[in-house]
Amino acid sequence: MGSLTKSKLPIIDFSQEKLKPGTDSWLSTANDVRKALEEYGCFVALYNEVSPETHDAMFSAAKDLYDLPMESKVKNTSDLLGFGYGGGFTTMPLFEYFGIEKATTLEGTQTFTDLMWPSGNDDFCETALLLSKKLAALGDMVLQMVFENYGVERYYDTQIEALAYLMRFIKYRAPMNNENNTGLRPHTDKGFLTILDQNQVKGLEIETKDGEWITFDPSPSAFVVVAGDGLMVGSSRAYDYDVVDLGFIFPSPQFDSYDWKLSQFLGQAWSNGRIHSPFHQVAMRGTEDKYTIALFSFMSGMVETPEELVDNQHPLRFKPFNHYGYLRYCGAEGMKYKHPIQFYCGV
Ligand SMILES: O=C(O)CCC(=O)C(=O)O
Ligand SMILES: [Fe+2]
């Protein structure tokens, strides 16, 4: 593992008034997005559509979640890795999460709220819906820029309609004396795109292609956008085929290890390897608890590299695959591998 570096992630401003499709600022922002996703697999988006009030209200409402009794928490179940409830892991004892499926719909946030708080929690439900819609709008804009910049905008509308969103509320408690500081072990995201909103506590570290780790310094209007394996299907990075230990998965304490969902490798696959799907981790280095709200997108159906992204210099690297099938694979046999996408659908 490389050393921590003082380098910064690319920062891209989405708060510009003139950011409308077809304008000069849109085109130059789209170029920056593509460059950042190809070089780093991520960037920091400055985005004022989420007000500081919404950001604060969400983190404040979310704290109640972690105080719920365990019998309530475990009602949030799923057969996919990272989608239900998880906590109390031996390899990552500081880490706890709740997944909300279909979080960009009232049905999704209401179902989750009713499950956790049968007597109601309108504040949580409304704020989660508002935030997830705003984050999804940012993600959709990023994807529109990516599709246009690669000249494959003809696929954009159908692909956006097919996206499914998972919102994940995460807490990393501060380590106690002499406790290991691992918050989340190194992993790539298994979805298409991830957007991260965080409280003020540092801890997220992203690996560059050179093996250095960049620490992200959070602020309320800065969101980290991370490409997943699904989008990568176009990246030029050589794969290694290491079999890794199983610590980067999210074993559930209540159920067997298949009771969780994945969220991460999609960006690479779609782009035929052009976009990079970066390894990232959370390391807790202070005395404060860290909270993250993540919005993941997945393709509800097949992920397929557009034919325009395949040529002599970029031979097809990934066969079309079912995204949820890939998530299930990652929660089972695929968890042995550092790059399960290669084993699942690599050519
Ligand atoms: O909490 C964070 O900053 C990162 C979360 C993350 O990487 C994930 O949930 O996949
Ligand atoms: Fe992640």
> How much distance in Å is there from the Cα of 214 to the middle of ligand 2?
14
Residue 278 has pLDDT above 90, yes or no: yes
Higher pLDDT residue, 172 or 335? 172
Single-letter amino acid, residue 80: L
Ligand 1 probe mutation, 83, 89, 168, 170, most atoms within 8 A of CB:
170
Which numbered ligand comes closest to the C-alpha of 292? 1
- Mean pLDDT across 94-122: 98
Ligand 1 probe mutation, 92, 167, 194, 265, most atoms within 8 A of CB:
194
6 CB neighbour count, 10 Å cutoff: 7
Q: How far is CA 170 from CA 65, 97, 198, 199, in A?
A: 10, 4, 9, 11
pLDDT in tens, 306-322: 999 999 988 998 899 89
Complex ipTM over 0.90: yes
- The average confidence (pLDDT) of the chain is 87
Share of the chain above pLDDT 70, in %: 88
Residue 327 has pLDDT above 50, yes or no: yes
Q: What does the pLDDT read at residue 6?
A: 59
Which numbered ligand comes closest to the C-alpha of 183? 1
Taking a 5 Å cut-off on Cβ, the residues next to ion ligand 2 are: 189
pLDDT in tens, 182-192: 999 999 999 99
Which numbered ligand comes closest to the C-alpha of 227? 2
Atom of ligand 1 nearest to the CA of 198: 3
Which numbered ligand comes closest to the C-alpha of 187? 2
- Mean pLDDT across 253-271: 41
pLDDT band with cut points at 50, 70 and 90 for residue 296: very high
Q: What does the pLDDT read at residue 2?
A: 53
Atom of ligand 1 nearest to the CA of 290: 1
pLDDT in tens, 222-253: 999 999 988 874 332 333 333 333 333 443 33
Which residues line the pocket of ligand 1, CB cutoff 6 A?
Answer: 168, 170, 184, 189, 196, 198, 204, 263, 280, 282, 292, 294
> How much distance in Å is there from the Cα of 24 to the middle of ligand 2?
32
Higher pLDDT residue, 208 or 241? 208
Higher pLDDT residue, 134 or 342? 134
Backbone angles phi, psi at 75, to 5 degrees: -70, -20
> How much distance in Å is there from the Cα of 156 to the middle of ligand 2?
24
Q: Give the ranges where the chain is alpha helix by DSSP (H).
A: 24-39, 52-66, 70-73, 106-116, 122-149, 156-161, 229-232, 267-270, 323-330, 340-345
Q: What does the pLDDT read at residue 271?
A: 85
pLDDT in tens, 49-100: 999 999 999 999 999 999 999 999 999 999 998 999 999 998 899 999 999 9
> How much distance in Å is there from the Cα of 292 to the middle of ligand 1?
7
d(CA 203, CA 216) in angstroms, rounded, equals: 7
Is residue 170 within 8 Å of 95, Cβ to Cβ?
yes
Least confident of 6-15, 132-141, 282-291: 6-15
